[in-house]
Structure formats: structure tokens, C-alpha cells
Amino acid sequence: MSKQHQFDVLIIGTGSAGLMSALQLSDDLSIALIAKDKILEGSSYYAQGGISAVLDTDDNFDAHIKDTLETAAGLGDESAVRFMVEQAPDAIASLEESGVHFTRKADQYHLTTEGGHSARRVAHVADKTGESIQTNLLSNVKNKKNITLFESHIAIDLLTKNSNCYGAYILNKSTNTVESFITHKTIIATGGASKAYLYTSNPDTSTGDGIAMAYRSGCDIVNMEFTQFHPTCLYHPHAKSFLISEALRGEGGKLILPNGDAFMRKYDDRAELAPRDVVARAIDFEMKTNGFDCVYLDISFKEKSWLQEHFPTIYKKCISFGIDISKDPIPVVPAAHYTCGGIQTNLDAQSNITNLYAIGEAAHTGVHGANRMASNSLLECIVFAKSCAKHINLQTFNEAQPKFDNWDASRVTPSQEKVVVSHLWDEIRRIMWNFVGIVRSNKRLHYAQLKLTQIQSEVNEYYRLYLISNDLIELRNLVKIAQIIVQSAITRTESRGLHYNEDYPEKADQPTDTIIQKS
């Protein structure tokens, strides 16, 4: 007999969105907080550059809003952007209350800048902002008696009836059994889906599970064609997913070709600090046209001691690969970094399924539109985690819950062919990289769609026959996410922000969101 748990609130995901929402929920509520891996594993922990907020007297909310909307290329939702920007100083205060010490110069914040920002407004903890946020939030969570942490528990599907959510089926990876978590409110905080691509800056957790689960339950999934490619990931055979922060360009780092020529001015007057879509496309163009394996980012004009103080993680990581960034240019390539689309939510983080909320990278709040501005993601995580918790705290919890059957594993057998899972996983990620990358075309998108339809039926068959496992759950989600991205990209017959299709190089007159819903 598999276990059933009862909680008031289930939070799926322990990134900065999940942890902050747990901390902001009322102490009267019983909360289950689950992570499919170690609690700290997720994109939040690896965030480098920082979190944006108007903190300087020379800056103002209108400028932050304008920059965010300009970067969003016509698809940003102004009211959501205003909501986020105006709450940014409060988000910073909440993080400080939890113990985060942002880097300061004398008694002022040391603010950096990144692409798209017209002012210095990125608060950071050297280049370990995510590590500091995550370790502090977690230590606060551990002090709360009403929160139970479940590590190595992976959510499979939501428990829904009549467009109402009552929790989720969750695989306990230590016992290999599926447990039911029956709850009044469920918050999806599962992060993004950049693992759909072969090369990514993201950790292995970013397989879009929450978005795929929400899709299967009938949520609107919006603007998934906008995958953000970070222009500068370290290019080295052993440097899996290592990011070279945009903050290096904020401090004057130059992008150069192998012969030393700077090239960004050819593409945009803002050069290295143009928004990411522009910089990533420029690098992609230079690499493809000239047959280069990578381009280079040069920050060697800065003193070694300054680099060690401001970018200690990057400095040490590069040294471990034999690159001294105070002398050598850093080899870099673009890689999938951020999922701008996701589960449609309102300002209280509610989805269109009753009692189901989504926050962080899994959500589509409208603040990023067709392209996210750097350091607005951690901000979105914190602001919407807080508004979500505030909304839940105002609810009553006396609703009767329907009965759900325990997970039935009587008709499946252990698989002897696990290679099928790893093969299909690899195939999906290659298809996405080769045919649904930085530059797209109708032909490539339709080819990807055809291939993914075949893979989907193989995955369905495998899922029907064999015992559930972490890899199978992720594969099932990944193929669905890849299909949603391709379907969204095919639907958008224009080029805008992060979506560039050679067959439709112009922007449409009227920007519209792409909404995908299970038929």
C-alpha cells in the first residue's frame, strides 16, 4: 500500500521561488516542500550576475520598466512589469532579512550592469549571488516547524478533478514508490526547461517537469518559443554548463574573434551590452560564417586582484581549465539558458486551474515577453513567490477533498532496455539544438516536429509498459516540452526577440502571445 500524505500546501521545487514562497506562507499552514534532487540543486544556486532593483538615487522605476519592456520586444505585460519593478526594493529587503549580504562599497550597494539596463541596478554577492540566496533561504526554512522537506522526491503528475488541483503523485526515489500528496493548494516552482537543448548553462534539474505536468492538466502554456540563449558559456571539453556572467561585459569585457577583432559594434550600437538575443545571434552568425568553434571574451585589461575580488568563482573555474582571465581571453559559446514562456499566471501567481499556482521560471507572468532582461529572473522569483504566498494566506482551508486512487503499478514491469531512455533523451536534445536553435526556418521546424512526434509515441509506449523512474519521468516531460516549443515556434509567423525565423525575418504589426493548451 503506497503512502498518502495530507498537507495544506504542496510546493514542488526548492529554487529561490519555492523556498521564498514557503517562508512567506503563514506558520499555521502545513507545508510539504519537495525537490527531485538535493534541495540546493537547481538554477537558482548557480546564479552569478545578481538581482535587479532600483537601489540608486540616480535610477528610477520608470527606467527599469522601460528597459524591461524594450528588452521584451513588444510582448512584455506592462502592468506585470510595473508590479515586479515596484516591489524589487522590497524583494531585496526580504533577502537581506533572510541573511543575504549583498556586496557593498562603503555603505552603498555595489551595483553592476548587464545587457539592456540603462543604469547600474544589479545587486549581487560577488559572482555567487545564487549560492548566497539559496543557502540563506534554506537555513531559514529549516527553522520553520510547519515546513517538511522532501529531498529526492520527483513529482509525476498533478491530482486534478473538474479543473481543480488537489496535490500530486510523487515518486520517492529512495524507496522507489509513488506516494500521493493530497493538499488544498499546490505551487509549481520547478524551474525552466533548458535541458531540452544539447548545450545549456542549466543544471540537470531543468527538464520543464512542472510546465509539462501543468499542460497535461489543462493549463495554458504561453510563449514557449522564446528560449533565451546566454551568449557566453565557457567553451572547454570538460566545462559542462559553466556560465561566464554577463556582468563581465557590464564591467567592460569585450567580445572578440580569434584574430582579436571586436565585432559587436557591427550588430548594435550598445555593442557587448545589447540585449542577449542580439548578442547571441551575432556570435552564432560569426561562428557559422567563419567556421569558428567559439569566440572570446576579453577582460584581461582588469587587474588580477580586482578580478579575484569581483569574480572569484569565474576566476577559479577558468584557472582550473588553464585559462588565466587576467591574461587570456576566455573561449565562449552561446547555450540555452532560460525559458521565457511557461504556465500562464496572474499577479497572484494563480493558473487557470483552481488552487494551482506557478512561480519562478516555470511561470509565464508576462514580465519577460519575447526576451528576458538580465537579472530580472531572480527578481521575478522573489516578487511572485511573495504575492503567491500572500494570496494563499488569505484563503480558507475547509474545502472537502475528493478521493484519489493510489498509484497503480500492477501492470508494468522493470525495464531491461534502459538504453532506450538515454538514447531518446539524447535524440530530443540534438533535434532541438540543430533545428530549433538561435536561428530557425520553417523547414527545420517541421522536420523537428515530425521527429518529435515519432519519439513521443515511443515514449508513450515505454511509459505504458515499464516501471516509472526519474529518467523516464523526465524523458516524458522533455519530449512534451520540445513539442510545445516547436508548436509555438511554428505558430509564430514573425521574428521577435528570441525567436528568429529566416522565413519570416520581420516583426508582425500586432504582437500576440502564443497560447498552447492540451486538446
Residues contributing to the site for ligand FAD (CB under 6 A): 12-18, 34-37, 41-44, 46-51, 129-130, 154-155, 189-192, 201-202, 205-206, 209-210, 243, 338, 360-362, 375-378, 381
Task: Give the active site residues.
Answer: 276
Nearer to ligand SIN, 375 or 449 (CB): 375
Neighbours of 128 (CB within 10 A): 19
48 contacts ligand SIN (rule: CB under 6 A) = yes
Nearer to ligand FAD, 202 or 355 (CB): 202
Q: Which of residues 376-395 bind ligand SIN (CB under 6 A)?
A: 377
75 and 69 Cβ atoms separated by less than 8 Å: no
Provide the minimum distance between the beta carbon of 278 and ligand SIN in the complex, in angstroms, as a whole number: 15
97 exposure class (CB count in 10 Å sphere: 0-12, 13-18, 19+): exposed
Provide the minimum distance between the beta carbon of 374 and ligand SIN in the complex, in angstroms, as a whole number: 4
Among ligand FAD, ligand SIN, none, what does residue 78 contact (CB within 5–8 Å per kind)?
none
Residues 6 or more apart whose CB falls under 8 angstroms from that of 9 comprise: 25, 29, 30, 31, 32, 183, 184, 185, 186, 187, 392
Residues 6 or more apart whose CB falls under 8 angstroms from that of 22 comprise: 11, 31, 33, 141, 144, 147
Pairing mode, strands 363-364 and 342-344: parallel
192 contacts ligand SIN (rule: CB under 6 A) = no
Provide the minimum distance between the beta carbon of 250 and ligand SIN in the complex, in angstroms, as a whole number: 9
| Binding string, residues 202-241; x marks residues near ligand SIN by CB under 6 A | ----------------------------------------
Give whole-number Cα distances, 263 to 25, 271, 287, 369, 489, in Å: 49, 8, 12, 27, 29
Nearer to ligand SIN, 55 or 516 (CB): 55
Among ligand SIN, ligand FAD, none, what does residue 17 contact (CB within 5–8 Å per kind)?
ligand FAD
49 contacts ligand SIN (rule: CB under 6 A) = yes
Nearer to ligand FAD, 154 or 282 (CB): 154
Distance CA 101, CA 131 (A): 12
Nearer to ligand FAD, 123 or 283 (CB): 123
Distance CA 340, CA 183 (A): 28
114 and 230 Cβ atoms separated by less than 8 Å: no
247 contacts ligand SIN (rule: CB under 6 A) = yes
- Rounded to 5°, the CA angle 368-374-378 comes to 75
Residue ranges binding ligand SIN (CB under 6 A): 48-49, 245-247, 374-375, 377
